[in-house]
Each structure stands twice: as structure tokens, then as C-alpha cells.
Amino acid sequence: MNTIEILHYEKDIHLALLGIVFNACQTDPIKSHQEKLIALDKAKGGTAVTDKSKAAEFIKTSEELAVLVEKSNPDQYVDVLLKAAGLAKTVENPQKAIEIYTKIATGLPQHKKAPTALFMIGFVQENDLADLEKAKATYESFLQKYPNDPDFADDAQNALKLLGKSPDEIIKEFEKQGDGQ
């Protein structure tokens, strides 16, 4: 081979390598995140959550996937974030759960699952953080925005009635309601 042929040969090899690298970079990031979530779900121990570090990685990966699908698939965006928020609550990270639920409740307030997210913010504030003032404000906000929500309107009203009451007080209240009928 002469020098010119060698240079063309090297150029062809470089172009081929560049093509391989380019194609490798073109993998579908949505699919790779989905596959990673499947693996992490198993690694964290499923719903039992035996590995909190894998659960934290699952939450982070879910948030990354949500960013990737936010504009193109709002339903997937919401579903991914709801699962991540629920997991954050499960692994006793209520602040993270509220942060994620808030992305849905304020970012997509017209979405059919936005009421779920807003209700869950109040629920976490009440039950995990014992912040009754914030929970009350959130439940009231819920009832203003979604007064006829079939899934959570009654729950929000009951939560407001029972907010701050001890289990004994709640039992007595239910007994009174039973006697009054």
C-alpha cells in the first residue's frame, strides 16, 4: 500500500469507529431508563423494599425518566412520579414524597391523577410529618380544587374532621355516629 492508500484506509477506519460511537450514543434513553427501573425494582426487593439504596436509585431514575417523557407522554410522566413518590413514602422519606407529589399537583393540575397527588401531600404531611397545619391547608386546598373528586373528596373531608384527634377520640366519634342512626 502506498501512503495515499494508507491515509484513505485510516480515514475509513476512523469514519467506521465514529459511526459505531455515534450509534452507541443513539440508544433510546427512555427504554434504557425503563429497563433500569425494572432491574432496580427487583434489586430493591419489590414492594417489601429490602434495599433502601436501590430504592433511592429507583426514585432518582424515575425522576430522570419523568423528565424524558414529560412533554411526549404526560400519563407516563404522572405514573412514573406517583410510583416514585409512593416509594419515597414507603422508605420513610416524606420530604421527597411531597416534593414528587408536588410536581404532579402543581405541574399538571388538570391531569386526572392530580387530585391523588394533592391528597397524598396532605396525607404525608399529616401522618408522616405530623404537620397538622400544613395538612389542614392542603386538604382544604384539595376540596377547593376538586370538591367532587370521586376518589378523595370524602377522604379529605373526613381527614379534616378527624385531624389531630387521637385514635380513642376517633373511635368515640364513630360510636356516636353509630348511636345516632
The 8 Å CB, 24+ separation contacts for 69-73 are 69/30
d(CA 33, CA 4): 45
The domain total for the chain is: 1
Residue 180 DSSP symbol: T
Amino acid symbol at 32:
S
Per-residue pLDDT of the chain (181 residues; tens, 9 = 90+): 544 444 344 545 544 444 454 444 457 888 888 888 888 777 777 777 788 888 899 899 999 999 999 999 999 999 999 999 999 999 999 999 999 999 999 999 999 999 999 999 999 999 999 999 999 999 999 999 999 999 999 999 999 999 988 778 778 777 777 766 5
Do residues 153 and 162 lie in contact, with contact meaning Cβ atoms separated by under 8 Å? no
Identify whether 23 is part of a domain: no
Identify whether 18 is part of a domain: no
Domain ranges, residue 116: 28-179
Cell 385531624 maps to which residue? 163
d(CA 160, CA 155): 9
Quick one: pLDDT at residue 13? 53
d(CA 51, CA 42): 10
Do residues 121 and 105 lie in contact, with contact meaning Cβ atoms separated by under 8 Å? yes
Do residues 125 and 98 lie in contact, with contact meaning Cβ atoms separated by under 8 Å? yes
Quick one: pLDDT at residue 181? 53
Identify whether 5 is part of a domain: no
Identify whether 11 is part of a domain: no
Quick one: pLDDT at residue 23? 47
Identify whether 14 is part of a domain: no
Identify whether 4 is part of a domain: no
Q: Which CATH number covers residue 80? A: 1.25.40.10
d(CA 167, CA 178): 17
The 8 Å CB, 24+ separation contacts for 36-39 are 36/61, 37/61, 37/62, 37/65
d(CA 15, CA 52): 45
Identify whether 96 is part of a domain: yes
Residue 48 DSSP symbol: G
Identify whether 9 is part of a domain: no
Do residues 65 and 33 lie in contact, with contact meaning Cβ atoms separated by under 8 Å? yes
Quick one: pLDDT at residue 180? 60
pTM, entire model: 0.79
